[in-house]
Structure 1
Amino acid sequence: MAHGKLGGDLHQQRGTAENFGLDAARYDRTRPRYPDGLVTRVVRECPGRELLNVGAGTGIEARQFQAAGCTVLGVEPDPRMAEFARTHGTETEIARFEEWDAADRRFDGLVSGQAWHWVDPVAGAAKAASVLRPAGRFAAFWNVAEPPAEIREAFRKIYDEVVPDALAARAYRTPAPPSPHTTSESPLLTKTVEGIRRTDGFGEPEQWRFAWRHVYSTDAWLDQLPTQGDHGQFEPGKLERVLTEVGAAIDARGGSFEMRYTAVAVTATRSVL
């Protein structure tokens, strides 16, 4: 999960992503979905309904696009995640996207939810251009989360003390953005935009934003936490301490909190040759 400022160069840390499949069912159960407005706009902007889902994971966004009338093929490097997606209705092939064999198949759209940062931004954009039909739509998107200020500060203190080098610790140390629009300056989004611009075959990239909110109980947040970032790489004792102290922090503030999300999409249209 992204908190406030999104990071860059994560495609060089793919070992972190490979931990998500350790508990694919938990990942699928607890990870936030994407707002209907984002799904609707992507579908509307594609020239047809055949989509490729890069970094399909357990099929969270694939199922949302299928419900909107699309056919979706997933590409996912983790066999455990791919198997979960398959058993829940999404055809999925196992490969890293940069190395995936498209076998001359072409698609009306390429979507990637909470996953494009694991793809090399330049090689990935070039591969995307090669598999999209003319006027096909590229859309990589992320849920950017911003908790209430006092919850954020409580979490920061916990991570700084227990796992100061963790991705979450670094994220919570980053000053909270004054508005969702500051995410346009994030390294992750910047690298995605630059990757598209360095690739022949796309028009000028755009950014779309969709604000939404979700209330988490203590139990719901703790259920999701092991699926976030590099939590799966924590020493067991440190993970247990994080879970205990984060739970106590939420309980001390009434046992729930409202998370503000902004779904941010970087999108571009495949040039008509």
Structure 2
Amino acid sequence: MPTLPREQPEPPRAESHKARRMAESFGVDAQRYDQARPGYPDELVTRIAAGSPGLDVLDVGCGTGIAARQFQAAGCAVLGVEPDARMADFARARGLRVEVATFEDWQPASRTFDAVIAAQSWHWVDPAAGAAKAARVLRPGGRLAIFGHAYEPPAEVAEPFAAAFRRAAPDSPLTTQPARRPLDLYLAAYAKLADPIRETGQFKDPEQWRFDWERSYTRDQWLDLLPTTGGLTQLRPGQLAEVLDAVGDAIDSLGGRFTMNYTTLAVTAVRAHTP
């Protein structure tokens, strides 16, 4: 599933859940991750909460709790499941209940929920096993909602980034990615997520939602976010500095800030009522 720039792991997308080193690299600086990563449109949160039979929410791959806190603010009771203990500790310190496990290994202990959400995290879950487990822990009429951001910086920022990344980490499999990826790739990836949900036979037909918005970034704000993305969390300090210097220079040439056009995509399905 596409997420942030350069966040694709080495294995094919269908096997992203096997790339545990990448999946569990984001906790290296949990505070920066929490401060720099964008939240989600309020309209999305409201629509999920209103379209669920109740307010008990399970957050799969909750990270530091960015989405979970938005659902808490909407009146939901949220339980997070997170494989990285560093991220889980950060989320707990901000009032979220979190259990440390991958979703595949997590033990629900007969608990059920009105909504299962995965914010920018479902690509680290085995798609077939994840859909089946979500069906098991959802109450009849409960909603599975998988969502994340599709965004690419403008070419004036993306191209210097790609060139610097190729120089700094020439052996990385991520260097083969284009500087910018079209939205159609993201839309196709989210459409594909619906297949294993349908294959469970436990959900009504999945829907796709889209929310377009934008955000302005200063040079410092963008350079704070970049090290939290998957392609950069594993770079050595010298490699990271080379990439950030090039991107910083590019943003300076634009007057020190730029506007990011975001599209937040979701695939969502309602748990069918059992006969």
TM-score, normalised via structure 2 length: 0.91
Shift in Å, 1:184: 1.9
Q: Does residue 239 of structure 1 match 2:245?
A: no
* Percentage identity across paired residues of the two chains: 51
Q: Does residue 67 of structure 1 match 2:73?
A: yes
Unpaired segments of 5 or more residues in structure 2?
none
Question: 2: CA distance between counterparts of 1:116 and 1:210?
Answer: 18
- The superposition leaves residues 23-65 of structure 1 with CA deviations (integer Å, 9 ceiling, x where unpaired) of 1111101101001111111111111111000001001000000
Distance 1:3-1:24 versus aligned 2 partners, 3 A rule: closer
Match of 1:85 among 91, 115, 122: 91
- The superposition leaves residues 65-120 of structure 1 with CA deviations (integer Å, 9 ceiling, x where unpaired) of 00011110000011111111111011111111011000000000001101010000
Question: 2: CA distance between counterparts of 1:107 and 1:35?
Answer: 22
Question: 1: CA distance between counterparts of 2:156 and 2:244?
Answer: 18
TM-score, normalised via structure 1 length: 0.92
Match of 1:185 among 178, 185, 188: 188
- The superposition leaves residues 137-175 of structure 1 with CA deviations (integer Å, 9 ceiling, x where unpaired) of 00010111122232222222222332245476444x065
Query: In 1, are the aligned partners of 2:151 and 2:260 still within 8 Å (CA)?
Result: yes
RMSD of aligned Cα (Å): 2.0
Question: 1: CA distance between counterparts of 2:22 and 2:231?
Answer: 6
Aligned length: 268
Q: Which range is displaced more, 123-132 or 16-25?
A: 16-25
Query: In 1, are the aligned partners of 2:6 and 2:174 still within 8 Å (CA)?
Result: no
Alignment-mate amino acid for residue 225 of structure 1: L
Q: Does residue 25 of structure 1 match 2:31?
A: yes
Q: Which range is displaced more, 91-100 or 154-163?
A: 154-163
1:204-219 paired onto structure 2 within 5 Å: 204-219=205-220
Unpaired segments of 5 or more residues in structure 1?
none
Question: 2: CA distance between counterparts of 1:249 and 1:24?
Answer: 27
Distance 1:248-1:230 versus aligned 2 partners, 3 A rule: same
Correspondence for 2:257: 256
Shift in Å, 1:261: 0.7
- The superposition leaves residues 167-206 of structure 1 with CA deviations (integer Å, 9 ceiling, x where unpaired) of 76444x06542xx4553213xx244222212212111111
Distance 1:169-1:4 versus aligned 2 partners, 3 A rule: closer
Q: Secondary structure at the match of 2:233?
A: helix
Shift in Å, 1:129: 0.3
Question: 2: CA distance between counterparts of 1:143 and 1:206?
Answer: 17
Moved over 6 A (4+): 4-7
Question: 1: CA distance between counterparts of 2:171 and 2:272?
Answer: 42
Alignment-mate amino acid for residue 207 of structure 2: E
Query: In 2, are the aligned partners of 1:55 and 1:74 still within 8 Å (CA)?
Result: yes
Alignment-mate amino acid for residue 183 of structure 1: Y
Query: In 2, are the aligned partners of 1:135 and 1:270 still within 8 Å (CA)?
Result: yes
